[in-house]
């Protein structure tokens, strides 16, 4: 460090737009510890333009679907007549399929437990590596969880007829 000289002088000119200053120049790959050299791009425009394109695509698809497909609206609600079969919205048909076996186990215990396990997942998983191949058991369990969800929803949507009886949709079974 140079000895302080009497009188003021500017090392770096004062710049009101600058909120940072050069502190020191050091040798090395990067000031970030444990990371490879920075390989970054500006958020504007690189990220934002991608998000704009994605947004436009999503909105166009949504508009197109909404122009072609009408949201369902059945008859006025009627307490005295339960439609047959009465189905929940599709994302709850897996739940309805479980409820068909038992309301307490299928409707409360299994969904509640899976939601709890889902939330607790990061604290239960102690495997250090992120790659799925390094945490095979968990990956299998999670994949089974997803597949069971999808299968139950498909069964509830297409394979359940009047009285929640099992039907085969391509053999004249009526699908709603």
Partner 1 sequence: MTEIIRLLSRFITGNRVWKSVFRAESPVTERGQSESIFHNVWLHIYPVKVRKDALRFTYTFCLGGVSFLLFLLLIITGVPLMFYYVPSVEQAYGSMKDLEFVVSYGLLLRNMHRWAAHAMVITVFLHMARVFYTGSYKSPREFNWVVGVFLLALTLGLSFTGYLLPWDQLAFWAITVGTSIASYVPWLGPSFKYVLIGGNEVGQGALLRFYVLHTVVLPLAAVLMMAAHFWRIRKDGGISKPL
Partner 2 sequence: MDHSDKTSPSEAKPMGRRDFLTTLGWGALFASIASTGAGMIRFLFPNVLFEKPTRIRVGRPDDYSPGSVTYLESSRVFILRNDKGFRAMSAVCTHLGCTVNKDAGSNSYSCPCHGSKFDENGGVVRGPAPKSLSTCEVTLAPSGHMVVDLKSFVPPNHYFRV
Interacting residue ranges for partner 2, rule: CB under 8 A: 79-86, 96, 99-103, 162-165
CB atoms within 10 A of CB 97: 21
83 to 112: interface string for partner 1, x by CB under 8 A? x--xxxxxxx--xx--x---xx--xx----
* Minimum gap (Å) between residue 101 Cβ and partner 2: 6
Per-residue interface string for the shown chain with partner 1, residues 140-169, x marking contact by CB under 8 A:
--x---x-----------------------
Name the 3-class secondary structure at 17.
coil
DSSP state of 91: G
User: For residue 7, what are the CA distances in angstroms to 10, 46, 81, 121, 124?
Assistant: 10, 46, 94, 62, 63
Q: Which of 113, 125, 147, 162 binds partner 1 (CB under 8 A)?
A: 125
Rounded CA separation 94/148 (Å): 9
Count of residues that bind partner 1 according to CB under 8 A:
66
Instruction: Name the minimum Å distance from CB 168 to partner 1.
Output: 24
Q: Exactly one of 8, 42, 163, 166 binds partner 1 (CB under 8 A); which one?
A: 42
Cα–Cα distance measured from residue 114 to residue 101, given in angstroms and rounded to the nearest whole number? 17
Q: Using the 8-state DSSP alphabet, how is residue 31 labeled?
A: S
Q: CB of residue 118 vs partner 2: minimum separation in angstroms?
A: 25
């Amino acid at each position: 460090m140079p000895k302080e000289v009497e009188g003021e002088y500017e090392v770096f000119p004062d710049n009101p737009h600058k909120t940072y200053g050069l502190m020191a120049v050091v040798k090395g790959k990067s000031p970030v510890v444990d990371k490879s050299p920075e390989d970054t791009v500006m958020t504007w425009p690189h990220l934002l333009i991608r998000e704009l394109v994605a947004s436009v695509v999503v909105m166009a698809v949504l508009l197109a679907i909404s122009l072609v497909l009408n949201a369902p609206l059945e008859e006025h609600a009627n307490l005295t007549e339960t439609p047959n079969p009465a189905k929940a919205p599709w994302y709850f048909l897996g739940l309805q399929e479980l409820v068909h076996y038992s309301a307490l186990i299928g409707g409360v215990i299994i969904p509640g437990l899976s939601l709890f396990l889902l939330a607790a997942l990061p604290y239960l998983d102690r495997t250090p590596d992120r790659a799925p191949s390094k945490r095979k058991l968990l990956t299998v369990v999670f994949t089974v969880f997803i597949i069971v969800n999808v299968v139950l929803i498909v069964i509830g949507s297409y394979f359940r007829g009047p009285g929640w009886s099992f039907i085969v949709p391509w053999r004249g079974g009526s699908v709603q």
